[in-house]
């Protein structure tokens, strides 16, 4: 996937996320749809927290001593396998209580806008980010991080569709 294709896919995934969350009223946004599920607001909050990756993307980097795309396929395969349940790292777990819709959407718009801007910049996407290691994998290149943001968002957009289906049965 070229940088242009990746940035376009990110834009589309972010728009779907924001449109989906915007379509719910405050009550529905904060309703647990079924046992063991997060609310739609909690999914949004989890993604919002994960989008702090921008600090890693713009932080310390170094030349990459491996294929700069090496983790794109395995991460995509894992995150787009909707048949497996994944556990979130504790540091990006969502808030427990109700989450205010306006605040959530505003912060998500801000963070996704910054990520979009970076994805379309002339930054060297093959450099390895040094400020944070993805649990179980390690250091990723900027391109791999952006792909991770994409597949992570797509996974949760799928989850949101399931939540909405359960809310309106």
- Which domain covers residue 20, as residue numbers? 3-167
Instruction: Give tens-digit pLDDT for 31-73.
Output: 999 998 999 999 999 999 999 999 999 999 999 999 999 999 9
Instruction: Give tens-digit pLDDT for 136-160.
Output: 899 999 999 999 999 999 999 999 9
How far apart CA 108 and CA 14 sit, in angstroms, is 9
Average pLDDT over residues 76-97: 91
CATH code (residue 64): 1.20.120.450
When pLDDT is cut at 50, 70 and 90, the band that residue 23 belongs to is very high
Domain count, the chain: 1
Burial of 47 (0-12, 13-18, 19+ CB in 10 A): buried
How far apart CA 10 and CA 163 sit, in angstroms, is 22
């Amino acid at each position: 996937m070229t940088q242009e294709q990746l940035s376009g896919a990110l834009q589309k995934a972010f728009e779907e996320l924001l449109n989906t969350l915007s379509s719910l009223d405050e009550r529905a946004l904060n309703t647990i749809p079924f046992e063991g599920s997060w609310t739609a607001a909690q999914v949004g909050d989890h993604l919002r927290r994960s989008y702090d990756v921008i600090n890693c993307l713009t932080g310390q980097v170094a030349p990459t001593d491996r294929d700069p795309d090496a983790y794109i396929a395995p991460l995509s395969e894992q995150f787009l396998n909707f048949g497996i349940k994944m556990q979130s790292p504790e540091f990006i777990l969502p808030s427990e209580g109700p989450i205010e819709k306006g605040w959530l959407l505003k912060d998500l718009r801000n963070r996704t806008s910054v990520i979009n801007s970076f994805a379309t910049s002339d930054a060297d996407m093959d450099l390895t980010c040094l400020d944070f290691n993805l649990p179980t994998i390690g250091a990723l290149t900027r391109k791999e991080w952006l792909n991770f943001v994409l597949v992570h968002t797509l996974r949760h957009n799928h989850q949101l569709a399931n939540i909405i289906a359960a809310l309106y049965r």
